Amino acid sequence: MRMRAAVLHEQGRSKPYAESTPLTVEELDIEGPREGEVLIEMVAAGLCHSDLSTIEGQRPRKLPTVLGHEGGGVVRDVGPGVRELAVGDHVVLGPVLGCGECRDCLSGHPALCTASLAAKSQGMMLDGTSRLSWNGEKIFHTSGVSCFAEFSVASELSVVAIDPELPLAEAALFGCAVMTGLGSVVNTARVPAGAAVAVVGLGGVGLSAILGAVLVGADRIIAVDLHDEKLSLAGEIGATHSFRASDPDCIEAVRELTGGGVDFAFEMSGVTQGMKTAYDLVRRGGTMVTASLPNIADEFSVNAYDLVSGEKSVRGCYMGSCVPSRDIPKFLRMYKRGRLPVEKLMSALITLDDINTGYDRLSDGKVARQVIEFS
Ligand SMILES: NC(=O)c1ccc[n+]([C@@H]2O[C@H](COP(=O)([O-])OP(=O)(O)OC[C@H]3O[C@@H](n4cnc5c(N)ncnc54)[C@H](O)[C@@H]3O)[C@@H](O)[C@H]2O)c1
Ligand SMILES: [Zn+2]
Ligand SMILES: [Zn+2]
């Protein structure tokens, strides 16, 4: 079958992307689903910074590839052996692909699944092959979903069926941004009510962490970013205080406000400078959780004496430590009841043809989530 998809042929092109066009919308061939896979007609797909990092060349990828790892759509065909999904189901797609059998999957950490990581890092489906091609030339998958396209073939393990009444544009954000940001608060850190929380970096992921902090009843919710637009949006969704990261007094001001620092600092800026800021905001005995994926060569260091004498913790967080089939339906129920106003994270609905301009805007740091709507 032929379909339109946004293809990345080369990493590291210069900005503005509207001119250098790292992504080109092309007609590709997509094969039908094989064992354990489904064909999904895409309705919506979110623009995440992780795909921007791929465009920038922050980490190597098999090329050419179709990006996109956060989406919503409708199942149009099911391959042999599919158990949980049927034609017509509304689904959320995300980058977590747990094989269900390895030690990490069995211990409730499918995002860490080594078996699927091997396939994903080769730009392949779980069976080591691709369903995408152009005039017979192989095209690589991204995160097993490649959803910047009119159709996606995905393992049923990458997909969660959702309530068909929910709008798929908002539901798409649960595939990565909400899963990661909200999950970092409720799963990775398990923040208790009354805690003092800071969030550094207020994109789709950081703003979802703010929603999580509100949900669990954190007392102080401190938003930190470079852009005033982001700080005011954080205020609208429940941040109690906000600070500009570029303000030289930022750390001191937060320490003064909280009597020595926050219990939990969540770092979602995508840069090691943000990690440093978040670590410095943590009180003695507190925890810094980072979900940032900066350049693959970047290192982050802390003062060893301060870490030990202050009994501080530093934790990585991948996909909010979520089990998608457990957490996405639960998070969506809270969204449906109005307890998670994810719609406020939607900055714009765009078309597939506007994708390069969308990445220019994301790169400028002033928008939260932009979502491609497929007509
Ligand atoms: N660990 C995971 O599972 C996971 C999942 C999704 C995204 N990510 C990563 O999380 C990061 C955030 O993703 P996003 O899509 O929300 O990004 P985004 O670009 O939408 O948001 C990043 C925000 O950080 C702010 N920022 C930049 N530098 C800063 C600094 N020095 N101090 C404070 N704020 C700063 C920007 O102004 C922007 O508001 C990226 O690195 C992305 O790759 C990780
Ligand atoms: Zn993402
Ligand atoms: Zn596994």
Ligand 1 atom closest to the CA of 227, numbered from 1: 37
pLDDT of residue 231: 98
pLDDT-based confidence at residue 183 (cuts at 50, 70, 90): very high
Answer yes or no: is the C-beta of 144 below 6 A from any ligand 1 atom.
no
Select 178-318's CATH number: 3.40.50.11310, 3.40.50.720, 1.10.8.60, 3.30.1960.10. Answer: 3.40.50.720
Q: What's the distance, CA 35 to chain centroid?
A: 27
Q: pLDDT band for position 375 (50/70/90)?
A: confident
What confidence tens digit (pLDDT) does each residue in 42-91 have?
A: 999 999 999 999 999 999 999 999 999 999 999 999 999 999 999 999 99
Pairing relationship of beta strands 282-290 and 313-316 according to DSSP bridges: parallel
- Rounded to the nearest angstrom, the distance between the alpha carbon of 365 and the centre of ligand 1 is 9
Rounded to the nearest angstrom, the distance between the alpha carbon of 49 and the centre of ligand 1 is 6
Domain topology for 2-175+341-373: Quinone Oxidoreductase; Chain A, domain 1 (3.90.180)
Determine if ligand 1 sits within 6 Å of the CB of residue 273. Answer: yes
Average pLDDT over the chain, rounded to an integer: 97
Q: How confident is the model at residue 345 (pLDDT cuts 50, 70, 90)?
A: very high
| 284 CA distance to ligand 2 middle (Å) | 31
Confidence at residue 11, expressed as pLDDT on a 0 to 100 scale: 98
Given this model, what pLDDT does residue 93 score?
Answer: 98
Residue pair 295/275 in contact (Cβ under 8 Å)? The answer is no
What's the gap in Å between 83 CA and the centre of ligand 3? 18
Does an H or E element contain 250, and which?
A: helix 250-258
| Any atom of ligand 1 within 6 Å of the Cβ of 319 | yes
Task: For ligand 1, atom 13, name the residue with the nearest CA.
Answer: 49
Note the pLDDT tens digit of each residue in 222-248.
999 999 999 999 999 999 999 999 999
Task: Please report the pLDDT score of residue 373 as a whole number.
Answer: 98
pLDDT digits (tens, 9 = 90+) for 2-34: 999 999 999 999 999 999 999 999 999 999 999
Ligand 1 near 225 CB (within 6 A) = yes
Q: What is the structure's pLDDT at 115?
A: 87
Q: Whose CA is nearest to atom 28 of ligand 1?
A: 269
Ligand 1 pocket mutation pick from 50, 273, 300 by most atoms within 8 angstroms of CB: 50
Share of the chain above pLDDT 70, in %: 100
Decide whether any atom of ligand 1 lies within 6 Å of the 204 Cβ. yes
Please, where in the chain does CATH 3.90.180.10 lie? 2-175+341-373
CA 271 to chain centre: 15
Pocket test for ligand 1, best of 56, 61, 272, 293 (most atoms within 8 A of CB): 293
Residue range 126-146, pLDDT digits in tens = 999 999 999 999 999 999 999
- Confidence (pLDDT) at 372: 98
Q: Please work out whether the CB of residue 233 comes within 6 Å of at least one atom of ligand 1.
A: no
Q: Long-range pairs for 346-354 at CB < 8 Å and ≥24 separation?
A: 346/169, 346/170, 346/173, 346/370, 346/371, 349/169, 349/373, 351/375, 352/4, 352/6, 352/25, 352/148, 352/150, 353/25
- Tell me whether the omega of the peptide bond preceding residue 64 falls within 30 degrees of 0, making it cis: yes
Residue range(s) in the chain whose domain bears CATH number 3.40.50.720: 178-318
Between β-strands 23-30 and 132-134, what pairing exists: parallel, antiparallel or unpaired?
Answer: antiparallel
Spatial distance between the Cα atoms of 191 and 128, rounded to a whole number of angstroms: 39
Which one of the ligands is nearest to 53 CA? 1
Task: Using the mean position of ligand 3's atoms as its centre, give its distance from the Cα of residue 61 in Å.
Answer: 22
- What angle (nearest 5°) sits at the alpha carbon of residue 258, between those of residues 255 and 262? 80
> What is the number of the ligand 1 atom nearest to the C-alpha of 320?
3
| pLDDT of 106 | 95
Q: What is the CA radius of gyration of the chain?
A: 20
- From 15, 17, 49, mutation site for ligand 1 pocket: most ligand atoms within 8 A of C-beta: 49
